[in-house]
């Protein structure tokens, strides 16, 4: 017989390592209000947002050929090279229709955001962003901020069917809403520790008091295991203790200038400008805690984007433009897909431009970028391109491409909720119902 | 208390025990060995264990105590598998900070629901005069009731006092009676007494040199063994009032638990563990080679085998050995694609048999076995043969040597070596390989009519597949032949006995328990290899509850078989 | 003598064994055929057309064009024309406001019979254009040819392999539309099938020999179950599908297999389809299969027949009889919007399409007027082995069905109201 002690110990270590994938997160913990602690011990809130672009993608220009961490960025994602390690790319995840008729550009987008595909506008609300906002965005001035940058007043954020949370379409209006009347100085607020957190902490202290009694009652090997238990309890207690400290003051914040007047319409060049401006304002609003949740609509799901000098919209092109036989895809449509990814890079630039804690605002954000379909000409809702950016203050891991192999796309929504501390084990309906989170994202 | 009507199944189990007794009694004159075999021999007992609740046990316990409708929103970490069983891993697993975080998330959510305005009437046995006031009497009742259920024992006065102090100070801060109870419950749900099964030894030794587990620990062992959950009120009561000390009461409780609704779940938990179904979490198949594989197929394949097992062992009261030969084939639409059999039933399981053409017989010909013990893009006679020996016969197969050259074996497009048998010939000739592979490959080769997912085929790369195989000097053909060989293999039943005892105790059997294990083997045989009879015999035996004082636990967790199930 | 008998016996045995063995072998190879029956699921379907106009010179008069001004889709369109400085988006918004605002403003897509003749709708007039498809009427017809008793004179095409008499007048109607070229999108309607909205099944029964059998029973059905796909979106063989429980979607006929080619006698077939979540029927009258069957049970070939022009116009252009799945008419906004939007996006006029369909209708003359009312329509289809069962079972999506999102009458032939009471 082998030496059981050593084997047992080693196995315990191995077991610990196997489960210890969560260990890096120890320094970072999220309380019920979504406040994350940076490794420095400062409390920095985590933010969540979605970023939607319409009419899908050109797969050969978007899906990396390799999966895992070692992949080449394809043409349309090349501009995102600076963010390669802070992005997770998801291909091949489906909205499962279960025979539900596909309402083009709606069923896919809302199916992804609610976990339930519907054949019409009767959204199975609330959408993902609202669910998350109810946990992490409770105590900010705005529960969420919605922005649409192509002049169209639409939003895919629903608390209840029939009433979308309305989008701001003008940079100036957005500025006034965020920084005009009612603006709250982020550092002026009085901090009051949450009494529930105080009670929670004292409950754990009481548990720890049992240590001696239990240690006496077991043998040496089990004492080691009990010791690990009590160490874990103590660590958790310390995390709660940190939450009772005042939040880190917002640093380097200066009130932005009102934006210049510019043309807001659906012409791509204008949209890029409008989007850049609104992204900057939104990033500032996030920095100074006016909101923790946002939804950006670059272009509507039936994309009304136009190219200068052309009257045909992106969406119309998806149905009208013949496939270029040499390229194997619709060339004009491909142009819009490329532009959309450039805008996405602009958005990340805006978040990354703001220093926060040891890193930038982007590090403390979790942004889900998605489209409404994969190949717009057929309104396909299988393989909708999806990305996650930012690390939510260390709650998610990025820097990989994952092929879904036709798994339900609700796995992504489920994982994001879990990453942000929502107590949900299962999400979606019918074939979209899933309790399988994405381990790669959670680390 | 009332006695539930005993079902036909429990009658059967009791009948088997009675038959045993009769055999023992009547054969006493004819043979000296027989009565000794069938009367429980003296056993050393083992150490008191410290076992972490498995995810299944945690969920079942919460469902039993608070109701199956209470959500448990935790992400449980991967269970530790040791010596071929997660049940053994529970005796070694620690509790990491990540796990603590998750237990805390679950505890907070459970407590919030239980004490919510909508639910509290269900759980709080009394009410404060005004919601803000602290009702000490009510709080005490709450703490005692749920403390007992969760800690699986009567709480000592000091413990109740401590929890009441927690409630009182919570109330002082929050000024809300139910919020105070909510956090008190959080405390109980993250307490070591709930998350860990800390076995205690009875104060007075029953006889010189041997002790017993204390009565609540015995009830807990019994309950997790036979129901996969914590003791219910009735069993706790029998422990609290000491009546469980009496063998008749123990027998009554065992029969009650085995005829109850959770017993099937316990049997499923055992076989899920033995068949290593947790490895399905990591199972990947190449979508181009096995397009029919998806998460639904993976889940249904496991369920198919578990249904087959519980239908055969529990519903049909069948012989364990027939699991290797049964052609019963519960199917779903998703599985039908893999098995290439029609499944008219759309949303449920369709009972039926495997087609004669496919030659399938026994759970070792199920997709759950064939796909799990294959490579992502091809079958593996070696992995299958290894699993046959490790899973069903409790034999240990060593890992391959580190410097081995696999190129010839892995080239499955070779026209010179079209079938796996051709490619594995090197295993039988190279001396480096031969030593182990002659044990593994021949059994696995009999399953080559099933590809890496488990779909029936007769050809590989155009060549007809030879499905002759061998297991321990017995030769046979195809899955059915392997099934017969397994069903008649003496180690198949003794392996199950050993595993079942390890599942029940969370440790390997000790040298001092040798005679006892032999007794269990004989009991299993005399009962016609009925698994419930074996479980009943364990649950009723003295050895199950016996403690070696100051036992060296290193002996109990030292083993003779390998822990890993995933070597290549 | 004795030895002779043994000899004869063993010879007989050997022969018998050889015979048995061959039979067993043949059976073993044809995994998809069990007890003389085989089932198939249609895994791909598209109109049988021809090479692109650019290659086959089928459109000497050019390609079809749509409304010069989008307002022309309305019967009365004064004041609706695009205004100076008005963007296309704004114009569309205004038009749709009108289309759905007042019932009196009728549009030509839903009322094509009220339209003027459209000279912009081009059809295939080129000479010697080879097409896909089969000869259905057993004649090589020509409008200019010797007078035949054919009440619906038409010009047949030559086949891709030089066959004569191919009846495929639908190609004539759509062959000069950009969207029906190989780079276009109109011939990829199977996508809704692949996403599970509808499906099609084929059964063979009474098969003694899978390669040659002069009488087999053939079923062509709509499927009640969504098609099963691999992670790479390829249809999977050997899945189980129940046939549509509404008898209108069940067609049964006879056929024969000769040299591995299955042909069937004409029967009226009906399948489902979906546009913009509007549910429609796709009927095909006097439909027949012409399929090549391989060893693995994969079939490839044609489903050819005649489509009533009104039916064809309804499911392909106007959607005016489209329903919402519970059997009620889909909202007008959705039907009209889809019909008009399709005409705008794909670049044709609704009345032009309607007129062309009647112009080339080649069957079913109206006894009263002599007007031909059906047009030859052919599909290229592929099918994979499947288990086809005929039973009423609950939908896999009962909740959505109950909410009116699913399909009624598909799983259970009883009316929805009755089925709900279960």
With cut-offs at 50, 70 and 90, classify the pLDDT of residue B440. Answer: confident
Give a yes or no: residue B356 inside a domain.
yes
Please report, for chain C, the start and end positions of each structural domain, with discontinuous segments joined by +: 1-30, 36-391
Does the pLDDT at position B152 exceed 80?
Answer: yes
Per residue in B552-567, pLDDT (tens digit) is 554 454 444 433 333 3
Q: Minimal CA–CA distance to C216: which of C195, C228, C202?
A: C202
Per-residue pLDDT tens over the stretch B279-305? 998 899 998 999 999 999 999 999 999
Q: Helix %, strand %, coil % for chain C, to 5?
A: 25, 25, 45
Interchain proximity B346–C230, CB inside 8 Å: no
Q: Which residue of A has its CA nearest to B189?
A: A207
Computed on alpha carbons and rounded to an integer, the radius of gyration of chain A in Å comes to 24
**Distance in angstroms (rounded) separating the CA atoms of residues C142 and C146:** 8
Q: How many helices (H) and strands (E) does chain B have?
A: 28, 8
Question: B558: which chain A residues are within 8 Å (Cβ-Cβ)?
Answer: 1-4, 7
C192, C196, C345 member nearest A98 (Cβ):
C196
Low-confidence ranges of chain C (pLDDT < 50): 1-28, 104, 147, 413-422
Considering only alpha carbons, which residue of chain C is nearest residue A323?
A: C183
What is d(CA A75, CA A338) in angstroms, rounded to the nearest whole number? 8
Q: Does B251 fall in a domain?
A: no
List the chains bordering chain B where 3 or more Cβ pairs fall under 8 Å: A, C
Of A109, A90, A125, A61, the C-alpha closest to A396 is: A90
Instruction: Identify whether the C-beta of residue B362 lies closer than 8 Å to the C-beta of residue B486.
Output: yes
Predicted confidence (pLDDT) per residue in B328-369, tens digit? 999 999 999 999 999 998 888 999 999 999 999 999 999 999
Averaged pLDDT, A161-172: 91
- Residue in C closest to B357 by C-alpha: C28
Separation between Cα atoms, residue B87 and residue B91, nearest integer Å? 7
Which residue on chain B is closest to C390 by alpha carbon? B344
Q: Which residues of C touch B464 (CB under 8 A)?
A: none
Q: E-assigned strands of C17-114?
A: 38-47
**Residues forming beta bridges with residue A147, ordered by sequence position:** A168, A296
- pLDDT at position A396: 95
Q: Which of C35, C39, C240 to mutate to test the interface with B (most CBs of B within 10 A)?
A: C240
| C-alpha–C-alpha distance, residues A395 and A417, integer Å | 11
Mean pLDDT lowest among A264-268, B158-162, C126-130, C413-417: C413-417
Is the pLDDT at B55 greater than 90? The verdict is: yes
A133-142 burial by CB neighbour count: b if 16+ within 10 A, else e? Answer: bebbbeebbb
Chain A: residue nearest C229 by CA? A406
Is 50 exceeded by the pLDDT of residue A415? yes
**CB-nearest partner of C277 from A120, A325, A378:** A120
Q: What is the pLDDT of residue C101?
A: 64
Which chains neighbour C (Cβ–Cβ under 8 Å, 3 or more pairs)? A, B
SS (H, E, C) chain A: CCCHHHHHHHHHHHHHHHHHHHHHHHHCCECCCCEEECCCCCEEECEEEEEECCCECCHHHHCCCCCECCCCCCHHHHHHHHHHHHEEEEECCECCCCCCCCCCCCHHHHHHHHCCCCCCCCCCCCCHHHHHHHHHCCCCCECCEEEECCCCCCCCCEEECCEECCCECCHHHHHHHHHCCCCCCCCCCCCCCCHHHHHHHHHHHHHHCCHHHHHHCCCHHHHHHHHHHHHHHHHHHHHHHHHCCCCCCCCCCCCCCCCCCCCCCCEHHHHHHHHHHHHHHHHHHHHCCCECEEEEECCCCCCCCECCCCCCEHHHHHHHCCCECCCCECHHHHHHHHHHHHHHHHHHHHHHCCEECCEEHHHHEEEEEECCCCEHHHCCCCCCCEEEECCHHHCCCCCEEEECCCCECHHHHHHHHHHCCCCCCCECCHHHCECCCCHHHHC
Task: Say if strands A293-297 and A145-148 run parallel, antiparallel, or are unpaired.
Answer: parallel
Please judge whether B287 and C393 are an interchain contact, meaning their C-beta atoms are less than 8 angstroms apart. Answer: no
**Residue C12 pLDDT:** 44
Number of domains in chain B: 2
How many whole angstroms from its chain centre is CA C61? 28
CA separation for the pair B62, B150 (Å, rounded): 8
Domain assignment present for residue B551? The answer is: no
**B78-94 pLDDT per residue, tens:** 889 988 899 999 998 88
Q: Are residues B453 and B315 in the same domain?
A: yes
Q: Is the pLDDT of residue A67 over 60?
A: yes
Task: Please tell me the predicted confidence (pLDDT) of residue A146.
Answer: 96
Does the beta carbon of A323 lie under 8 angstroms from any beta carbon of chain C? yes
CA distance C347 to A317: 12
**Which of A20, A203, A226 has the CB atom closest to B186's CB atom?**
A203
The structural domains of chain A, with segments of one domain joined by +, span 21-182+262-442
Compute the count of residue pairs across chains A and C with CB atoms less than 8 Å apart.
89
Would residue B348 count as lying in a domain?
Answer: yes
Per-residue pLDDT, A18: 31
Q: Is the peptide bond prior to A263 cis by the omega test (within 30 degrees of 0)?
A: no
**Whether residue A6 has pLDDT greater than 70:** no
pLDDT attached to residue B27: 39
Residue B220 has pLDDT above 90, yes or no: yes
Nearest Cα of chain A lies from the Cα of C106 at a distance, in angstroms, of: 24
Q: What are φ and ψ of residue C158, in 5° steps?
A: -90, 155
Instruction: Name the helix (H) or strand (E) containing B463.
Output: strand B463-464
Is A213 within 8 Å of chain B by CB? no
User: Residue A225 and residue B95: Cβ atoms within 8 Å?
Assistant: yes
Q: Which residue has the higher pLDDT, A316 or B252?
A: B252
Residues B188, B278 within the same domain: no
Residues 6+ apart with CB under 8 A from A31: A194, A197, A240, A243, A421
Q: How far apart are the CA of C88 and the nearest CA of chain A, in angstroms?
A: 6
Q: Between the CA of residue B315 and those of A311, B259, B310, B312, what are the distances in Å?
A: 71, 12, 7, 6
Provide the pLDDT for residue A161: 86
Are B167 and B181 spatial neighbours (Cβ–Cβ below 8 Å)? yes
CB-nearest partner of A229 from B92, B95, B183: B95
Pairing of strands C278-293, C299-308: antiparallel
Q: Going by C-beta distance under 8 Å and a sequence separation of 6 or more, which residues neighbour residue B363? A: B275, B305, B308, B309, B323, B324, B326, B369
Highest mean pLDDT among A237-246, B495-504, C239-248: B495-504
Crossing angle between the packed helical segments C332-346 and C88-101, to the nearest 10 degrees = 140
Query: Quick one: CA torsion of B91, B93, B94, B95, rounded to 10 degrees?
Result: -110
Domain A21-182+262-442 has CATH 3.40.720.10: yes
> How far is it, in rounded angstroms, from Cα A399 to Cα A397?
7
* pLDDT at residue C407, rounded to an integer: 58
Domain span including residue B55: 50-198
Bridge partners of residue C213, in order along the sequence? C257
Token pair in block for residue C222: 């709509």
Contacts of C277 in chain A (CB under 8 A): 101-104, 107, 119-120
Q: Which residues of chain C have a CB within 8 Å of the CB of B288?
A: 232
Q: What is the pLDDT of residues C24-81, one digit of tens each?
A: 344 445 789 999 999 999 999 999 999 999 999 999 999 999 999 999 998 888 888 8
Considering only CB atoms, which chain B residues are within 8 Å of A232?
95-97, 99-100
ipTM of the complex: 0.86
pLDDT at B549: 67
Closest-CA residue of B relative to C411 is B346
Nearest CA in chain B to C225: B346
Contact C389 B341 (CB under 8 A): no
Which among C231, C245, C388, C422 is the top mutation candidate for probing chain B, defined by the most B β-carbons within 10 Å of its own β-carbon?
Answer: C231
Residue B396 confidence (pLDDT) above 60: yes
Considering the domain architecture, whether residues B373 and B451 belong to the same structural domain is answered as yes
Say what percent of chain B tops pLDDT 70. 86
Q: Which two tokens stand for residue A121?
A: 């506008």
Say if the Cβ atoms of C393 and B345 lie within 8 Å. yes
Within an 8 Å CB–CB cutoff, is residue A374 touching chain C? no
pLDDT at B495: 97
**Is B280 in the same domain as B394?**
yes
pLDDT band, residue B7 (cuts 50/70/90): very low
């Amino acid at each position: 017989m082998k030496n059981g002690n050593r084997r047992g110990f080693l196995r315990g270590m191995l077991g610990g390592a196997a489960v210890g994938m969560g260990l890096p997160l120890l320094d970072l913990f999220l309380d019920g209000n979504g406040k994350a602690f940076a490794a420095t011990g400062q409390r920095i809130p985590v933010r969540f947002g979605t970023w939607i672009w319409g009419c899908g993608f050109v797969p050969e220009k978007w899906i990396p050929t390799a999966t895992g961490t070692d992949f080449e960025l394809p043409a349309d994602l090349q501009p995102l090279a600076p963010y390669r390690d802070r992005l997770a790319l998801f291909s091949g995840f489906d909205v499962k229709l279960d025979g539900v008729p596909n309402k083009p550009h709606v069923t896919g987008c809302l199916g992804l955001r609610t976990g339930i595909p519907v054949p019409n506008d009767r959204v199975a609300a609330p959408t993902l962003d609202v669910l998350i906002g109810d946990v992490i965005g409770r105590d900010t001035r705005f529960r969420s901020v919605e922005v649409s940058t192509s002049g169209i007043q639409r939003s895919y954020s629903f608390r209840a069917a029939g009433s979308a949370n309305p989008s701001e379409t003008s940079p100036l209006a957005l500025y006034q809403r965020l920084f005009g009347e009612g603006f709250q100085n982020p550092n002026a607020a009085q901090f009051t520790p949450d009494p529930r957190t105080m009670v929670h902490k004292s409950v754990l202290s009481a548990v720890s008091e049992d240590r001696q009694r239990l240690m006496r009652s077991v043998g040496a090997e089990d004492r080691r295991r009990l010791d690990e238990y009590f160490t874990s309890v103590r660590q958790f207690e310390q995390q709660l203790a940190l939450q009772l400290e005042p939040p880190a003051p917002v640093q380097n914040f200066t009130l932005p200038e009102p934006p210049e007047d510019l043309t807001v319409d659906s012409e791509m060049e204008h949209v890029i400008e409008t989007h850049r401006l609104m992204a900057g304002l939104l990033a500032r609003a996030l920095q100074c805690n006016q909101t923790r949740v946002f939804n950006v609509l670059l272009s509507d799901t039936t994309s009304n984007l136009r190219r200068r000098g052309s009257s045909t919209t992106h969406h119309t092109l998806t149905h009208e433009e013949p496939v270029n036989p040499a390229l194997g895809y619709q060339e004009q449509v491909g142009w819009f897909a490329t532009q959309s990814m450039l805008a996405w890079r602009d958005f990340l630039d805006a978040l990354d431009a703001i220093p926060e804690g040891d890193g930038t605002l982007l590090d403390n954000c979790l942004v889900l970028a998605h489209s409404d379909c994969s190949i717009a000409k057929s309104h396909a809702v299988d393989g909708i391109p999806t990305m996650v950016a930012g690390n939510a203050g260390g709650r998610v891991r990025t820097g990989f491409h994952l092929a879904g192999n036709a798994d339900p796309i609700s796995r992504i929504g489920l994982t994001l909720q879990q990453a942000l501390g929502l107590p949900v084990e299962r999400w979606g309906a019918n074939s979209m119902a899933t309790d399988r989170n994405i381990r790669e994202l959670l680390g | 208390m009332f006695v539930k009507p005993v079902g036909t199944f429990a009658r059967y189990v009791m009948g088997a025990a009675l038959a045993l007794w009769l055999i023992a009694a009547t054969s006493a004159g004819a043979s000296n060995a027989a009565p000794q075999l069938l009367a429980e021999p003296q056993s050393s007992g083992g150490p008191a264990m410290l076992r972490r609740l498995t995810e299944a046990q945690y969920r079942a316990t919460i469902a039993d105590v608070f109701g199956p409708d209470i959500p448990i929103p935790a992400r449980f970490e991967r269970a530790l598998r040791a010596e071929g069983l997660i049940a053994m891993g529970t005796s070694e697993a620690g509790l990491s900070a990540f796990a603590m975080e998750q237990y805390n998330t679950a505890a907070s959510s459970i407590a919030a629901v239980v004490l919510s305005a909508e639910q509290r009437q269900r759980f709080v046995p009394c009410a404060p005069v005004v919601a803000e006031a602290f009702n000490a009497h009510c709080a005490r009742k709450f703490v005692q009731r749920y403390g007992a259920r969760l800690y699986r024992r009567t709480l000592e006065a000091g413990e109740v006092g401590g929890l009441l102090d927690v409630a009182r100070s919570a109330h002082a801060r929050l000024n809300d009676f139910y919020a105070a109870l909510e956090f008190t419950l959080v405390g109980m749900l993250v307490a070591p007494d709930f998350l860990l099964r800390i076995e205690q030894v009875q104060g007075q030794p029953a006889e010189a040199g041997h002790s017993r587990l204390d009565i609540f620990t015995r009830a807990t062992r019994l309950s997790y063994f036979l129901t996969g959950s914590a003791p219910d009120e009735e069993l706790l009561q029998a422990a609290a009032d000491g009546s469980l000390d009496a063998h008749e009461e123990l027998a009554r409780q065992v029969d009650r638990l085995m005829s109850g609704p959770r017993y099937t779940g316990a049997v499923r938990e055992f076989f899920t563990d033995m068949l290593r179904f947790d490895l399905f979490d990591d199972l990947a198949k190449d979508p181009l080679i096995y397009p029919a594989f998806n998460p639904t197929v993976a889940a249904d394949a496991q369920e198919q085998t578990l249904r087959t097992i519980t239908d055969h062992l529990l519903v049909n009261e069948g012989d364990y050995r027939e699991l290797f030969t049964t052609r019963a084939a519960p199917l779903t639409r998703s599985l039908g694609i893999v098995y290439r059999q029609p499944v008219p039933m759309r949303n449920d399981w369709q009972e039926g048999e495997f087609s004669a053409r496919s030659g399938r017989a026994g759970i070792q010909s199920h997709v759950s076995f064939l796909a799990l013990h294959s490579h992502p893009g091809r079958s593996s006679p070696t992995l299958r043969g290894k699993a046959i020996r490790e899973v069903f016969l409790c034999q240990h197969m060593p890992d391959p040597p580190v410097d081995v050259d696999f190129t010839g074996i892995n080239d499955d497009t070779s026209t010179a070596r079209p079938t796996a048998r051709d490619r594995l010939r090197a295993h039988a000739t190279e001396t480096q390989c031969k030593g182990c592979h002659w044990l593994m490959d021949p059994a696995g080769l009999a399953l080559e009519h099933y590809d890496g997912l488990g779909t029936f085929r007769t050809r590989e790369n155009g060549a007809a597949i030879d499905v002759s195989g061998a297991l321990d000097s017995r030769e046979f053909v195809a899955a059915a032949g392997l099934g017969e060989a397994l069903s008649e293999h003496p180690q198949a039943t003794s392996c199950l006995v050993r595993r079942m005892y390890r599942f029940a105790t969370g440790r390997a059997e000790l040298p001092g328990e040798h005679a006892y294990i032999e007794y269990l083997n004989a009991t299993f045989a005399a009962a016609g290899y009925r698994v419930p009879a074996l479980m009943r015999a364990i649950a009723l035996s003295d050895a199950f509850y016996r403690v070696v004082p100051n036992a060296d636990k290193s002996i109990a967790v030292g083993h003779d078989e390998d822990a890993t199930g995933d070597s290549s | 003598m004795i030895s002779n008998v043994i000899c004869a016996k063993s010879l007989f045995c050997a022969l018998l064994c050889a015979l048995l063995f061959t039979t067993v072998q043949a059976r073993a190879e044809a995994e998809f055929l069990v007890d003389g029956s085989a089932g198939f699921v249609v895994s791909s379907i598209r109109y049988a057309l021809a090479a692109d106009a650019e290659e086959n010179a089928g459109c000497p008069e050019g390609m079809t064009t749509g409304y010069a001004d989008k307002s022309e889709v309305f019967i009365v369109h004064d004041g609706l024309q695009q205004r100076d400085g008005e963007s296309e988006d704004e114009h569309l918004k205004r038009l749709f406001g009108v289309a759905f605002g007042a019932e009196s403003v009728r549009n030509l897509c839903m009322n094509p019979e009220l339209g003027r003749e459209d000279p912009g709708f081009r059809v295939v007039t080129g000479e010697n254009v080879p097409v896909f498809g089969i000869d259905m009427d057993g004649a090589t017809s020509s409008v200019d040819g010797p007078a035949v008793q054919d009440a619906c004179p038409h010009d047949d095409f030559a086949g891709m392999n030089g066959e004569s008499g191919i009846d495929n007048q639908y190609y004539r109607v759509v062959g000069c539309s950009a969207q029906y070229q190989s780079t276009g999108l109109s011939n990829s309607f199977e996508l809704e099938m692949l996403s599970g909205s509808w499906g099609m099944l084929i059964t063979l029964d009474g098969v003694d020999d899978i390669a040659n059998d002069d009488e087999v029973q053939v079923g062509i059905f709509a499927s009640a179950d969504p098609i099963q796909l691999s992670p790479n979106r390829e249809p999977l063989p050997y899945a189980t599908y129940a046939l549509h429980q509404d008898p209108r979607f069940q067609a049964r006929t006879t056929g024969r297999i000769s040299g591995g080619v299955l042909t069937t006698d004409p029967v009226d077939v009906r399948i489902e389809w979906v546009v913009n979540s509007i549910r429609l029927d796709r009927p095909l009258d006097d439909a027949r299969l012409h399929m090549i069957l391989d060893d693995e049970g994969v079939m490839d070939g044609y489903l050819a027949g005649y489509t009533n022009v009104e039916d064809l116009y309804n499911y392909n252009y106007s959607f005016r009889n489209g329903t919402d799945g519970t059997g009620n008419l889909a909202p007008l906004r959705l039907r009209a919007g889809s019909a008009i939007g399709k005409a705008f996006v794909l670049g044709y006029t609704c009345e032009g399409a309607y007129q062309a369909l009647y112009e080339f209708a080649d069957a079913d003359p109206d006894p009263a007027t002599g007007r031909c009312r059906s047009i030859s329509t052919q599909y290229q289809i592929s099918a994979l082995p499947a288990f086809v069962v005929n039973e009423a079972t609950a939908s896999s999506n009962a909740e959505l069905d109950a909410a009116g999102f699913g399909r009624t009458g598909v799983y259970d032939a009883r009316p929805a109201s009755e089925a709900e009471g279960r």
